[in-house]
Structure 1
């Protein structure tokens, strides 16, 4: 699977995690994710081959996300209209496109996140500093899984790890998140991005 798609399937910033956290209940995590409308943050991505990429992420729930990769990469990943498009800055070819529902990130971009659904959560643990929840599509576990890492008081998403259908892992670590701002639809418009790149 393409490593860009794998990240959709957020070395840390060395965040100052609070000590002795308690395991967050799934209902609290679901409520937190459902409360997110828009998110803008810097991110660091650790790819399955050990390389590191950085950039900016924009999330507009439900169903929309944009990863802008910084130099020297400058690639772009957009999810919108139930589709994921991967723009390779080094290629003149049209973007690769996949149904969003085939990627694990769809689980947190859904209009109503409910981690209590049967067989969705396959791991729920606490390591002293954070709560980790590993989830998969209960109807299609072959699509891979996403492990979400949260800190508490207040609940905050810090990173995620995507394991794709081949077992490769991609980690995305989020910087400080700006929430609730306005985001234009153009950010998530795959067709408009394709047309703009033709000029």
Structure 2
């Protein structure tokens, strides 16, 4: 476990050292504008789990409400949000796919049709370390669902990582590679088999 935590720390340090020089804190309206500027995106991701283990894979985003995390071996896992449900398909489990309401997860904040960080009680922290701007956001009506820390760089504005702080106190960090936006992504990528949700119509 110690080795995994050392790897995680080294990975985060590498991410920080690759960022550009000091920059001013990005305003909330600019961060909202950036997230609303694209509907689709794809790219690589590295995930640092709460126990320090590290996973890698590819992410597909199709707003509103859809995201797909494809994990590389040795992981045998797929996580898909179809607009209403987050399905977790673990190939090593005998229990079958597990489903959770998307609107009860902090990820729904950035998958919304219209992201608006100016909403009352949505943003609980907005800070800069001189290199990145970090926003902590939550569902204003249901703060008990957890929060998400979004880390942005500037020139141009880009989302570089997020941290999910769930209601149970665990933290999952997703470090993004360069996202390609405006790509064509079929809705077939967001069908959750075995839960009975199916694909959702465009909204």
TM norm structure 2: 0.87
Say whether 1:59 aligns with 2:61: yes
Partner residue of 1:144 out of 130, 143, 146: 146
Q: Per chain length, whose mean CA-contact separation is higher, i.e. which structure has more relative contact order (CA < 8 Å, sep 6+)? A: 1
* Number of the residue aligned with 1:8: none
2:167 equivalent among 137, 145, 165: 165
Q: Which runs of 5+ in 1 are unaligned?
A: 1-10, 195-199
State the SS of the aligned residue for 2:15. coil
Aligned counterparts of 1:51 and 1:23: Cα–Cα separation in 2 = 31
2:77 aligned partner: 75
Alpha-carbon deviation of 1:93? 3.1
Figure out how many residues of one structure are paired with residues of the other and give that number.
Answer: 184
Q: C-alpha separation between the residues in 1 aligned to 2:195 and 2:59?
A: 16
CA distance in 2 between partners of 1:72 and 1:89 (Å): 11
Q: Distance in 1 between matches of 2:193 and 2:186?
A: 15
Residues 28-177 of structure 1 mapped to structure 2, 5 A cutoff: 28-177=30-179
For structure 2, the residue ranges without an aligned partner over 5 or more in a row are 1-10, 197-203
After TM superposition, the score normalised by the length of structure 1 is 0.89
CA RMSD in angstroms, aligned pairs only: 1.5
Asked whether the 8 Å contact 1:68–1:74 carries over to 2, the reply is: no
Secondary structure of the corresponding residue to residue 187 of structure 1: helix
Aligned to 1:197: none
C-alpha distance in 1 between matches for 2:105 and 2:155: 30
Kindly state the Cα deviation for residue 74 of structure 1 after the two structures are TM-superposed.
2.2
